[in-house]
Structure 1
Amino acid sequence: MPRKQIKRKCGHIENIYLEDREFNDPAALKHHEDELCEKCYVSTNRVCEKRMSYVDYKIEYISCRTKEGSYDEKNKTIVVYVPYDYFLLGTL
């Protein structure tokens, strides 16, 4: 996956991984620019870090953000920022 440096809506600059189809797509880049950076997202939202299998993330938690650089290739796991609302709604 290619990396690209973008300016988030909070004003911070962040390097992100993009899928190949997103790299030259202005709408996809705008979507990423309209989000908060990882640090601001975690500090302004009630989330907890949960390590889970990458498959579970893609099936159940695809709408949640992931921690940069947390993918473990050996165990096929990733750290996901799960909103506390998921716990309150009983979706875990």
Structure 2
Amino acid sequence: MADIVVRDLGGLVDDLNALIEQFNSATKFQNEFKGHWGQHNANLSMGDFAHNWRINRKKMVESMEKFRDEVKSAEENWAEGERQLAASLEEKP
């Protein structure tokens, strides 16, 4: 039987937090660079795109937050399971 290996769930949580932050600040990013996209219609298109994706971004952020919370819970449960297993192996019969 193969060993179960769990690696760097905390890193995955950090990565998901960074993605969530990027998604949440997408409109801010678009506003910061307003006027830098070249032609006037390109600037308008970037603004329209950022605004129109608001609903889809919200759904994606909600999904990422749910997944992040599940990964964080799995990490905590795994660490607790390892702690309990180690404690049971150290107990004297």
TM over 0.5: no
TM range (shorter): under 0.3
User: Per residue, is there more helix in 1 or in 2?
Assistant: 2
Larger radius of gyration: 2
